[in-house]
Amino acid sequence: MISLKALKPGRFNWKEFLIRRMMIILLGIMIVFIAINRPVFLTTDNLLNVLRQIAVNAVIAYGMTFVIITGGIELSVGSVVALSGCVTAGMMKYYGMPIPAAIAIGLLMAGIAGFVNGAIIAGFKVPPFVITMATQTICRGFAYVFTDGRPIVELPKLFLRIGRGKVGGEAGFLPWPVLIMLMIMAVMCLLLYKTKFGRYIFAVGGNEDAARVSGINTKKVKIIAYTLCGLLAGIAGILLSSRIDAGQPQAGVAYETDAIAATVIGGTSLSGGVGSMYGTMVGAIIIGVVNNGLNLLAINQYYQMIVKGMIIAFAVIVDTFASKKYK
Amino acid sequence: MKKFFAIVLVLVLIVAAAGCGGNATEQLDAPAPTTDSTAQVMPEGDSGDKQLVVGLSMSDDTQFLSNVRKAAEKKANELGIQLIPNSGQNQVEKQINDMEAFITMGVDAIIFNPLDRNAMDEIVDKVKAAGIPLVEVNTFTSNENYDVYVGSPEEDAGRIQGEWIRKNLGDSGNLVIMYGQMGHSGQIGRYEGLKQALLDPCPEWNVLVEKTGEWKRELGQSMMEDWLLTYPDQIDVVASQNDEMAMGALAALEAAGKLDDIKVLGIDASPDAVALVSEGQLALTVFQDSFTQGSTAVEVAVGLLNGETYPKVVDIPFREVNPDNAEEFYAMLKEWE
């Protein structure tokens, strides 16, 4: 039995609102605690560092949010990150392409990867978990084949500005990755909350049969969702490779975990139909704050893993509580 | 009610996490004689001189690197300074984040074991811009703005292998090479040494195949199994860039009954590898003194803070481990544990 509220996306329903508040409260408590113990946490430098450090994950998570709202999952994003980074790097270094063209090709590869996922899932009705697990290895394989196993290094200096520069050049303040992350979030919010497509995403996730029966082309919606996810992973891959000045075939391993975590912490339900782009942003920030805070507090790195996992578990438990109550 | 419960749960979590972090005053009075590194930076209190704080950014937690870290922790305890170890867990981005955290924390010095020779250039500049002494250990970055590099010249390890092959197997034959992670300064250097000592002077030595095993035992094993089938009875020697892959190769050879036909060489001289040299299974390994690397890095970092000067590169020499000295090596390694 689903609630009507789940079928009326675009407005904040109870569940979303409550959960989002819960996570923001958690975030607030963490920030206060860390700031009391390590005032340096609140310096602009550190806060910008945190935002810059989460940019890659946040961008991937935005795409993941679309996919999870449709009731699916995307495990190959980490490999797409590697593939797009390597292809872009290779185009610039070995084929002498200008940066925009190289980026376009990298994104094209990422989009194709996403499209293939979506097409197989929509067309053959294979469980997304299984198929994206397969494309995860296939994509990474392509990355290794393309680079012959070696990282592609020493990329054009201008390209590195994307991951390392600030808006306004040397004297600037806002790192480019942060601006890119915010711009993409704005676009994704528009897409999810203000367009027909966005409403269809919620519909398909809430009840696929009802959606199909009411005239929505569920296959098309899914394919677009997965392609979008691939594209965003591609952008993340380019951000990453410009940050580390390398197209590495081994990059992005396990990045899907953090992306899913951000999405889930943000209130998007793994069973589909409900989700929030703002929530995903909050989720990504929580992960970044946890990583940064635990580092600053010099907590033993192995405990860091445990704490991070506990927070994710907590978020999922809260999510399940609330969806039982509000669905 | 549910919200209240949730908030309580959150507070419990955070308090638990803080509890794992240790207590500021406790740490100050008794510099912990254990290897537990939950010390807080800048311990407050009124005990006079502030204790030096050094950040240690390791690339990963392999057995070899753990030895570097343990030796560093031991030396840090001896010198009465606080060492904060972090591991990049084989992810470049994580190691960059770890280093940024050190800069933010304002540690007195940083010891850095870069995962990748090229990807870490920017962070080196950031550390120096913040005025923090930077010592690189075991691997180094292409950006040479660090203060000191403490390590073993990788070419030496490859060279020792090459010279052994020449001396024991002659000027010609068939060779297969197992590489570490491509792009790693060890992978690059060890190959260079092997090439200089063997492949360049002896063009009759033929490299049948070369591939990366990413420093991992299971890959060394699967590669060897495949090569045995692809090049039956053709391989004379396996030059592996580390012991883990070499031991994987040995496992494959044992299963195929080829232990006597093919010689395997490793690098690192981990205790199990040294034991195999004693037994005669592994022909040679090269000791990379992880312990001295770790403790010297700490010495140098502290020395720099005290105003001492060092050469740009502090060499910790590689040592050959062959059946003659294997037992003595083994005893020495066991002492360190």
Asked if the Cβ–Cβ distance from A253 to B183 is below 8 Å, we say no
Asked if the Cβ–Cβ distance from B86 to A294 is below 8 Å, we say no
Local structure of B314: helix, strand or coil: strand
Q: Please indicate, yes or no, if residue A3 is contained in any of the structural domains.
A: no
pLDDT of residue B196 exceeding 90, the answer is yes
**Pairwise CA distance, residues A154 & A134, whole Å:** 31
Structure tokens that stand for A311 in this block: 């927070």
Contact B110, B52 (CB under 8 A): no
Kindly state whether B255 is in contact with chain A, defined as any CB-CB distance less than 8 angstroms: no
Query: In this predicted model, which residue has the larger pLDDT, A2 or B60?
Result: B60
Q: Please give the share of chain B, as a percent, with pLDDT higher than 90.
A: 58
Per-residue pLDDT reduced to its tens digit, A88-118: 999 999 999 999 999 999 999 999 999 999 9
Q: List the beta bridge partners of residue A152.
A: A247
Q: What architecture does CATH give domain B51-152+290-306?
A: 3-Layer(aba) Sandwich (3.40)
CATH of domain B154-287+323-334: 3.40.50.2300
The total number of structural domains in chain A stands at 1
Tally A–B CB contacts below 8 A.
121
Q: pLDDT at position A316, please?
A: 73
Domain positions in chain B are: 51-152+290-306, 154-287+323-334
Q: pLDDT at position B165, please?
A: 95
User: Please, how many CA atoms are within 13 Å of residue A229, restricted to the half-sphere of its CB?
Assistant: 35
B31 sits in the region (left: phi over 0; alpha: psi -120 to 50; else beta) called: beta
Q: Please indicate, yes or no, if residue A37 is contained in any of the structural domains.
A: no
**Pairwise CA distance, residues B124 & B144, whole Å:** 8
Q: Please indicate, yes or no, if residue A303 is contained in any of the structural domains.
A: yes
User: Nearest Cβ partner of B7 from A25, A164, A291?
Assistant: A25
Closest residue in B to A239 (Cα) is B93
DSSP code per residue over A68-123: HHTT-----HHHHHHHHHHHHHHHHHHS---HHHHHHHHHHHHHHHHHHHHHHHHH
C-alpha torsion angle, residues B299, B301, B305, B308 (rounded to 10): 60
**Residue A315, Cβ neighbours under 10 Å: how many?**
23
Q: Please indicate, yes or no, if residue A296 is contained in any of the structural domains.
A: yes
User: Mean pLDDT score of chain A, rounded to an integer?
Assistant: 89
Closest residue in B to A319 (Cα) is B6
Q: Please indicate, yes or no, if residue A198 is contained in any of the structural domains.
A: yes
Per-residue pLDDT reduced to its tens digit, A201-234: 999 999 999 999 999 999 999 999 999 999 999 9
Question: Which of the residues A45, A244, A292 would you substitute to probe the B interface, choosing the one with the greatest number of B C-beta atoms within 10 Å?
Answer: A244
Helix H or strand E segment including B177: strand B173-179
Residue A315 lies in domain = 12-32+56-322
Confidence of residue B31 (pLDDT cuts 50, 70, 90): very low
The CATH number linked to A106 is 1.10.3470
**Residue B91, Cβ neighbours under 10 Å: how many?**
20
The Cα-based distances of A139 to A79, A82, A132, A250, B150 in angstroms read 6, 8, 10, 11, 38
Asked if the Cβ–Cβ distance from B105 to A295 is below 8 Å, we say yes
Asked if the Cβ–Cβ distance from B17 to A43 is below 8 Å, we say no
**Residue A179, Cβ neighbours under 10 Å: how many?**
15
- Chain A hits for B40, CB-CB cut-off 8 Å, are 37, 297-298
Closest residue in B to A321 (Cα) is B2
**Pairwise CA distance, residues A240 & A131, whole Å:** 25
User: Mean pLDDT score of chain B, rounded to an integer?
Assistant: 85
Domains B51-152+290-306 and B154-287+323-334 share a fold: yes
Q: Please indicate, yes or no, if residue A105 is contained in any of the structural domains.
A: yes
Model pTM score:
0.75
Asked if the Cβ–Cβ distance from A296 to B20 is below 8 Å, we say no
